[in-house]
Structure 1
């Protein structure tokens, strides 16, 4: 048997999080956000970072006036090719691009004859002329040029000759890369592979790229199909950010290229294997900057990506992780989770106890009691698979391995709608909490932005000798689910807290009263912090 020692081909990763990702509904990057994200991407090892659209908004303009300094990546500015009928010197968009301090210019141009006639209102020849002249002008200014062929796949299906002429015009004018864009996101993987292969028969694959959108949930698959067909640049965004359904998700593409033999044995990328373990943290950092909860089901980096709920699966994973894991979770900076739920068996419980540092023999009768307690609680509506801290507290209580730091004797929450001093009608929430610590009783009151916030502030206002341990607590997420009925339904509340170290934990409360459920979750969260702080 002979082994193939031929050198691997280089795949280029082009990130457009800061430009195309900014088209995501609800996403608005500040200049500081852009600098932070760009530094993360450069540290990861992507080859190009598209910083935005100079002149489109003040943040993008400022970004290109004082560009970041990268150790690896090239900095790209995005904009349109010259408008037909205007000279190069009389196109303000082109002027902004040429003034931008960027290593590369990414032009976008129409590749679908229908769009050229209807959207631009110019002839097909005029469109080609604008492409060629714009690229030549950028090249004369010593800029590397990339052309994004907008709607390429739709255009190729309608008029393959014209779509291909756009590609060839750009290459002849000196573009380093010509990127085939599935702008509407409707092309399927088998179509992408066929069309890219046909284009590669007329143009060198090491000058072609793919830009896929996720409107059929195929952006990652389409990107990989294009690589199989010969394209050698992949464009995408962190966490799949992008307009409508998003762009190809580099957070999924990068580990696939590094960990799956069909790609890792044939291609090299700029992201070294040792940096792959930072991927989950980078993904979560982006979500934190955007003030949104991470996608728990995200491939590779999501909290549930390596989570096992069924007891029989958990038993197998404990014996041999590869039975239910396609890659090692640590390789992407994630971790294995054997969920505790009403579907769990003793294997799940033992694995979770081991994770939190509690040693228990599988024949210990307390294990059965704990499993019964979990199932009884979940029958009432508790869900511990998303509330790891509450499970640990429950387990330690059943095992007799925790003490009560404080006792809440009573609490009250008042919500009043009234006119304030300015005569505006406002809703005011006030909470009062009576707590006993070491035999001493204290009463705290607080106003908040709503009843739960008021309750949280009152509870954490004065915990006596434990106060110093909770000063850095921050409530970062609050979720409510109503089930089992109508207005008298049972409510489940999940809260997530974070401390100054960056550690996060989640707790759960269940009650027919949403305030009571919230209070259960809040007290668990504080108790967990005190436990971990060694109070």
Structure 2
């Protein structure tokens, strides 16, 4: 039986301290539900006395009956005071949370410099605060801030801080690498000593300032830590916190520890992408385990091998973490890439005919023109479906027009789109904050009555790349659009010397691919207008 570990997620508290991340109370409730369903044991919701959003979150989350222990965050009492008069401690107790994390100093330098108090008073602050919270009926956890720096500077005092927390009845003593500067070897040695000398459950909380937060967490677990603190996608202050999306599967699939159930682990990729969307932070495609490129293969030799056995170039089976294998097709592609991609889509492809070679040549020609399909998997799939045939039209783009005017000191953009759908003419007008947004709104307005699911789709990223800067404003551009429906993410590409045309091409492919997914069990729709030169429309 695998050794159990406890996962402590602090995305809603420490994660929100990352630059550019701001979550509403509603956002935090949505994320908490996802984390709970994934099997996280502790969800740290924030500081209930620090701001109105956290106060509202703790009020609302009480009604959710989470399986996870909702945890409130605060600090030890103020120096030279008593717990009964400490407003922050009172807010923790009144939050309705089942557990409370108290952060306290374990580095003598911080006690003298930051708190400007005595070493003895700091130990009293730790002991009295944790005892006060525990006696209120809450589970008390102690975050030993700057523990590893403190231990290296003065191990006796750092351990004394932990002893005072244990004496007060702390359920967990969490060792924090707050500045993120400790190395894995140091982490392992220090945690081993703590486990030997402090008879209490030990947790680990690391930061990523040396790109070692995950490695340091794994080293701590190997040395005896049993609670893992981190955030989804590694969000957090400065360089971020330990990334639970890397830690959980590594511990469970490679090190034999039990974190969540196998079914819950399969939700990991979906949770990572959901949190990314809610936080409005673009997820790196190369993020381990959950990134869009985590199991992507481009080289022909690699693809040929994984078609025989995926273990040749994949360290785990992607479905174990809810991700999927992807084959990229580009100017480096061989026939294996085309066959693999076609088979993935369920297309009946005969490797003996010339079609595969023609498709490869077509892709290379398009890439020479500026297209890039390795970053536009949805456009690639559409191209292959067109090439191998058997699709039915769903609508035809007859025309579109854009008007931009400045009126009353404001820029107004209006798009007019004329379509043929199911034998009917559809003519729509919509405004937007720019040409692409107006076109997107008009296209959706025209199609939503036929495909209601389109309401769940939105553009999550838009990039324009100038392909030949010497042509200045007349240069050809490549537009990459990323779209999502909160479950899947896909990318499409358009190329033209006219940025509106390139954007339209990528936009049409985005909608086209989305509807392809909606209707896979019924038919494969073909939308005329975004096929990268494969159609005359």
What's the TM-score, normalizing by structure 2?
0.89
* 2:475 aligned with 1:489: yes
Q: Does 1:416 align with 2:416?
A: no
Secondary structure class of the residue paired with 1:386: coil
Q: How many Å separate the matches in 1 of 2:263 and 2:312?
A: 25
CA contact (8 A) 2:89 2:133 kept: no
Partner of 1:477: 460
SS at match of 2:351: coil
Structure 2 residue 38 is matched with structure 1 residue 44 = yes
Change (3 A) 1:406 1:153: same
Matched residue, 1:516: 501
After TM superposition, give the deviation of residue 64 of structure 1 in Å.
3.2
Q: Give the equivalent residue in structure 1 for 2:78.
A: 83
- Specify whether residues 87 and 414 from structure 1 end up closer, same or farther in structure 2 by C-alpha distance, changes over 3 A only: same
Q: What SS does the aligned partner of 2:220 have? A: helix
Whether the aligned pair in 2 keeps the contact of 1:475 and 1:495 (CA below 8 Å) is no
1:261-276 aligned at under 5 Å gives the runs: 263-264=255-256, 267-269=257-259, 271-276=260-265
Match of 2:306 in 1: 317
Task: Report the CA distance between 1:340 and its aligned residue.
Answer: 1.3
The aligned counterpart of 1:422 is none
Gaps (5+ residues) in structure 1? Answer: 1-6, 420-424
Q: Which residue among 433, 436, 452 is the counterpart of 1:452?
A: 436
1:176 to 171, 174, 177: 171
Matched, 1:194 2:193: no
Report the equivalent of 1:3. none
CA distance in 1, matches of 2:135, 2:449: 65
What residue is the counterpart of 2:530 in the other structure? Answer: none
Match status 1:144 vs 2:139 = yes
Shift of 1:131: 0.8
The one of 382, 386, 410 aligned to 1:426: 410
Shift of 1:372: 0.6
Cα shift readout 1:30-66 (whole Å, capped 9, x = no counterpart): 2222222222222222222212111111232233345
Structure 1, 82-91 or 9-18: larger mean CA deviation: 9-18
Helix, strand or coil at the partner of 2:495: strand
Q: Is the 8 A contact 1:49 1:75 kept in 2?
A: yes
Does the 8 Å CA contact 1:446/1:455 hold for their aligned counterparts? Answer: yes
State whether structure 2 residue 14 is matched by structure 1 residue 20. yes
Within-5 A mapping of 1:277-288: 277-288=266-277
Match of 2:450 among 435, 444, 468: 468
Q: Are 1:367 and 2:367 matched, yes or no?
A: no
Structure 2 equivalent of residue 165 of structure 1 = 160
SS in 2 for 1:79: strand
For 1:405 and 1:140, the matched residues in 2 are separated by: 66
Equivalent in the alignment of 2:103: 108
Deviations 1:168-204 (A, max 9, x none): 1111222121111011111111121122122223213
- The structural deviation recorded for 1:407 is 4.8
Which residue matches 1:525? 510
**Alpha-carbon shift at residue 387 of structure 1 (Å):** 2.2
Distance in structure 2 (CA, Å) of the matches to 1:167 and 1:430: 64
Cα distance, 1:370–1:321 mapped onto 2, change above 3 Å: same
- After superposition, give the CA deviation of every residue in 1:428-466 in whole Å (9 maximum; x if it has no partner): 223344556799877654432101122233445547xx9
SS in 1 for 2:93: helix
| SS of residue in 2 equivalent to 1:327 | coil
Report whether the alignment pairs 1:228 with 2:217. no
Q: Name the counterpart of 1:53.
A: 47
1:108–1:461 distance in 2 versus 1, CA, 3 Å? closer
- Separation in structure 2 between the aligned mates of residue 227 and residue 530 of structure 1, nearest angstrom: 45
**1: distance between equivalents of 2:103 and 2:296?**
42
d(CA) in 1 for partners of 2:446, 2:225: 62
- SS of 1:252's equivalent in the other structure is helix
Provide the residue aligned with 1:298 in structure 2.
Answer: 287
**TM-score of the superposition, structure 1-length normalised?**
0.90
Secondary structure of the residue that 1:428 maps to in structure 2? strand
Match in the other structure for 2:120: 125
Judge conservation of contact 2:270–2:487 (CA < 8 Å) in 1: no
Indicate whether 1:382 and 2:375 are aligned.
Answer: no
Contact 2:11/2:235, CA 8 A, preserved across alignment = yes
Q: What SS is found at the alignment partner of 1:214?
A: coil
User: Residues 40, 427 of structure 1: CA spacing in aligned structure 2 closer, same or farther, 3 A cutoff?
Assistant: same
For residues 276 and 59 of structure 1, what CA distance do their matches in structure 2 show?
Answer: 30
Greater shift in the superposed pair: 83-92 or 282-291: 282-291
Aligned partners of 1:258 and 1:273 also within 8 Å: no
In the alignment, the residues of structure 2 paired with residue 91 and residue 140 of structure 1 have an alpha-carbon distance, to the nearest angstrom, of 15
Give the length in aligned residue pairs. 515
Task: Tell me how far 1:253 sits from its aligned partner.
Answer: 1.0
Once the two structures are TM-superposed, the CA of residue 518 in structure 1 deviates from its matched residue by 0.5
On the 8 A contact 1:220/1:253 being kept in 2, the answer is yes
Contact 2:444/2:454 (8 A) holds in 1: no
Task: Select the residue among 245, 267, 277 that pairs with 2:239.
Answer: 245
How far off its partner does 1:502 sit?
A: 5.4
| 8 Å contact kept, 1:478–1:493 | no
Q: Which residue of 1 aligns with 2:534?
A: none
> Residue 465 of structure 2 contacts residue 478 of structure 2 at CA under 8 Å; is this kept in 1?
yes
What secondary structure sits across from 1:201 in the alignment? helix
CA–CA distance in structure 2, aligned partners of residues 471 and 42 of structure 1: 27
